[in-house]
Amino acid sequence: MIPSAYPDKSEIARLTARMLLEIKAVHFNTREPFILASGLPSPTYIDCRKLISYPRIRSTLMDFLTVTVMRDAGFEAFDNIAGGETAGIPFAALVAERMALPMTYVRKKPKGYGRNARIEGVMTEGQRVLLVEDLTTDGGSKLSFVDAIRETGATCGHTAVIFYYGIFPETEKFLGDHGIRLHHLCTWWDVLAEAKTQAHFDAETLAEVENFLNAPREWQDAHKP
Report the Cα–Cα distance between both ends of the chain, in Å, rounded.
Answer: 49
What are the chain's domains?
9-222 (3.40.50.2020)
* Residue 25 pLDDT greater than 70, yes or no: yes
Residue 114's pLDDT is what? 60
Instruction: State the average pLDDT over residues 28-35.
Output: 94
Residue with the larger pLDDT of the pair 68 and 169 = 68
The tens digit of pLDDT for each residue in 135-155 reads 998 878 889 999 999 999 999
Which residues does residue 135 pair with via DSSP β-bridges, in sequence order?
A: 163
- Which among 53, 15, 40, 4 is positioned nearest to 218, based on CA atoms? 40
Q: Which helix (H) or strand (E) holds 160?
A: strand 155-164
Q: pLDDT band at residue 34, thresholds of 50, 70 and 90?
A: very high
Q: If you average pLDDT over every residue of the chain, what do you get?
A: 94
Residue 122's pLDDT is what? 97
DSSP string, 92-157: HHHHHHHHT--EEEE-SS--SSTT--SEES---TT-EEEEEEEEESSSHHHHHHHHHHHTTT-EEE
Q: What is the DSSP letter of 49?
A: G
Report in angstroms the alpha-carbon separations of 63 from 56, 79, 96.
Answer: 11, 18, 11
Residue 169's pLDDT is what? 87
The tens digit of pLDDT for each residue in 100-132 reads 999 999 999 887 666 668 999 999 999 999 999
The rounded percent of the chain whose pLDDT value lies above 90 is: 85
121 burial class (0-12, 13-18, 19+ CB within 10 angstroms)? middle
Instruction: Give the dihedral sign, CA 91/97/100/102.
Output: positive
Cα 179 to Cα 83: distance, rounded to the nearest angstrom: 18
Residue 1's pLDDT is what? 65
Q: Which helix (H) or strand (E) holds 78?
A: none
Cα 153 to Cα 217: distance, rounded to the nearest angstrom: 38
Cα 198 to Cα 139: distance, rounded to the nearest angstrom: 30
* Residue 224 pLDDT greater than 90, yes or no: no
